[in-house]
Structure formats: structure tokens, C-alpha cells
Amino acid sequence: MPFSVGIRLTMGVLVAGLCLPAAGLAVEMLNDPKGYNGIPWGSSLANAEDLKLVKTVDRLSEFKLKDGLPLLGDAKIESITFIAIDEQFARVTIKYKGTTAHQQILTHFQKTYGPLDRTPGSMMRGLNQQFDWRGEDTEVTVLYEAVRDRGVVFIESRVLGPKFTEGLSETAY
């Protein structure tokens, strides 16, 4: 193999590695809840007393709480959505604003799921931050955009979560 081809191949592998999600940086979750708020993954949300159906599109059903928004730890949140795919509870999406809420949410998740890896080079700092906890059945991802001062939390089933991307072409954006 010519030298220039080898360099391009090595650079391509390096760039591809940098573009992959930060899955390798996920913290092993302590106390996997195997669901959210006492609702096990895979359950039907249709009969949950504290939830109301907001919309259904194809295989997805979106539910909201009937009685307002809870705190997440000490943090005030803007929205919480419970999502079922093929009538099975699979994901919770939580949106929030503000640096204070972001810090409170990270503190809550560290108390609940385990401390973040604070060794040099392991933390994501800057304009876009991502923090992950991964358990046997549950994965928690916190994404924060410092420029817009907003964040989103995804808490999902590791078994049902991949169903959200089924049928998508690898080249679809």
C-alpha cells in the first residue's frame, strides 16, 4: 500500500472515531430503574392514571402528565414526554433551560445513577456537552447547548430504544 493511501486511511479512521457518539464515555449506571417513575420499560402507557395521550403517529404514541410538571431533583423543567413505540413504553424526553437547572440535573443524576468520570480529558466541556449513564436496561443521556442555554434529557430502554431508528436509511438525515 502506498504511503499516501496509508496516511489517508489512518486519517479516515481517526476522523470516523471522533465522529462517533460518546458511548465509550458513558458511566456505568448504579441502581438501574428498569423504567421511569415506577413505570417499567415495555409497559402500556394507555392505562396509566397520571398520563394523557397527546398524539399518535405511525408506531409512536406521545403522553404527557395530567397534573403539571414535576421537579427533576431540584431542577425546574419545561416539559416531560413519555413515548411508547408499538404500544410499549420506551423513552422519556425532558427539556429544561438554564445553567442552574443543568447543574441541578447533573447533581440529581450523579446521586441517583453514579458519579461522572472527572479525570482530565473525560469531561465534555464547551458549547455542547453530553453526559451518559448506562445500565443493564436503561440509558440516560443529558445534552446541553451552552449558547442557547437549554438542555434535553433522554431516558430510554436499551432494548426498545433502537426501534426508533428502525427502517431509516443509513444515508438519511
**Gap between the Cα atoms of 85 and 64, Å rounded:** 15
**Gap between the Cα atoms of 149 and 70, Å rounded:** 20
**Gap between the Cα atoms of 171 and 155, Å rounded:** 26
**Gap between the Cα atoms of 97 and 78, Å rounded:** 7
**Gap between the Cα atoms of 142 and 133, Å rounded:** 9
Q: What is the pLDDT at residue 116?
A: 86
Can you give the pLDDT of all 173 residues of the chain as single tens digits?
A: 454 433 333 333 333 333 334 444 678 898 899 999 999 999 999 989 999 999 999 999 999 999 989 999 999 999 999 999 999 999 999 999 999 999 999 999 999 999 987 655 544 556 889 999 999 999 999 999 989 999 999 999 999 998 888 866 666 65
E-state strands within 46-163: 51-57, 60-65, 71-72, 75-76, 79-85, 88-97, 128-134, 138-145, 150-157
Pick the CATH number of 22-165 from 3.10.590, 3.30.50, 3.40.1000, 2.40.30: 3.40.1000
Q: What is the pLDDT at residue 98?
A: 96
Domain boundaries, the chain: 22-165
